[in-house]
A = this chain, B = another copy of it.
Amino acid sequence: MTTLRELAQHLGLSPATVSRALNGFPEVGEKTRIRVLEASERLRYKANSNAKRLATGKSGMVGMIFRSSRNLLVDPHFVDFLAGLSTGLADREIDLVIHAAPQHELLAHYERFVSSGSVDGMIVSAPELNDRRIATLIERGFPFVVHGRTGDNVGYAYFDIDNGAAFKAATSLLIDLGHRCIALLNGEADLAFVQQREEAFRQATTDRGIHIPERFISHDVMSEEQGFAHATEMLSGRRGPAPTAFLCSSTLQALGVIRAAATAELTVGTDLSIIAHDDVLPHLRPEHFNPALTVTRSPIRMAGVALAEMMVARISGVDPLKLQRMVTADLIVRASTGAAPTTGRDGWLH
């Protein structure tokens, strides 16, 4: 492995000049620069990144820590986000360091990342309502960006979709179609976006004078399996009238509802309406479901790309308040939503 000093010696120059030549500083003679670049190419010189990091104080890396228990990584949503993030970062020559830690050590690992100087910034995903990771990062004054947000007036950089507007629109659509018994299959209760969606749902129903019983709202992992389980339970009518419509936080849950409907011999679109939020997972297209699914749509991958850009800005000192973006999710109506069945199959509608 060639070092800078060797390269300089080889050229009869000082390390300082060679370093400047390679890094494009203006005070190097043009012929010298060319000589240096040629020689470095020929000797296959690559700067030792650790030495560089130590000298500059910049690592060229950003970090992400996830709970090994919750295991976001197996969540296809999270993963598509990661894809956008890492390509976005790669465009800016930044690497992403990912690390798994058990829940009870999570904050300690954040502390380590922050104060050991191994990364220039952190990405926080899936914030909880009172997120201690965010509190820690703010306290330490460390640059970070968040996918999602914990509230309306926060002091940090974030990218989020307008969960409230999306779920309000979806709920209104169902109500307009005549549905009064609407179930919400939501994600895990401690997540911020889950709360935001739920609040919008409750608000939209209450505004129209509709009461939704608690048993119509579930909090669970957003998977096909859980979607099926909750939908089956609710459709059984065991604890009271069954819902005529389902609002799902993920297309995976919607898949489960579709399966539950098939099992209960209900036709989706007529007997039962379904709307889901579509994060646009490339391997699971709701337009190809049977029937095609009505969704609120916002590509989660785009969020990754956007956050990469914001992370870079944040590292270079941009005011976090200037780095807050919220995008709206489009409501796309397809075949899975239809007018509420007029003859309540359970007597709920008269």
Contact surface of A with B, Cβ cutoff 8 Å: 1, 44, 46-51, 53-54, 59, 61, 68, 71, 73-76, 79-80, 82-83, 86-87, 89-90, 95-101, 111-112, 115-118, 223-225, 228, 252, 259, 262, 281-285, 288, 290, 301
Contact = CB atoms under 8 A, between A and B. Distances in A.
Contacts of A282: 74, 223
Contact of A98 (B1, B96, B288): B96
Contacts of A118: 49-50, 95
Contacts of A80: 73-74
A50 B281 CA distance: 37
Contact of A224 (B75, B100, B262, B288): B288
Please give the count of copies of this chain that the complex contains: 2
B288 A225 contact: yes
Contact of A73 (B49, B82, B115): B82
Nearest to A301: B74
A22 to B, nearest CB: 13
Given A223-B283, A283-B223, A284-B224, A116 B74 contact: no
A259 B68 CA distance: 34
Contact of A86 (B90, B100, B262): B100
B98 A83 contact: no
B116 A49 contact: yes
A145 to B, nearest CB: 18
A17 B116 CA distance: 20
Contact of A47 (B74, B79, B89, B116): B116
B101 A90 contact: yes
The 8 closest A-B CB pairs, nearest first, are: A73-B83, A50-B53, A90-B100, A49-B118, A46-B115, A49-B116, A79-B79, A87-B100
19 contacts: A46-B112, A48-B117, A50-B50, A50-B59, A50-B118, A53-B54, A61-B97, A73-B83, A74-B80, A74-B301, A76-B283, A95-B98, A96-B97, A97-B97, A224-B288, A225-B285, A228-B288, A259-B290, A262-B290
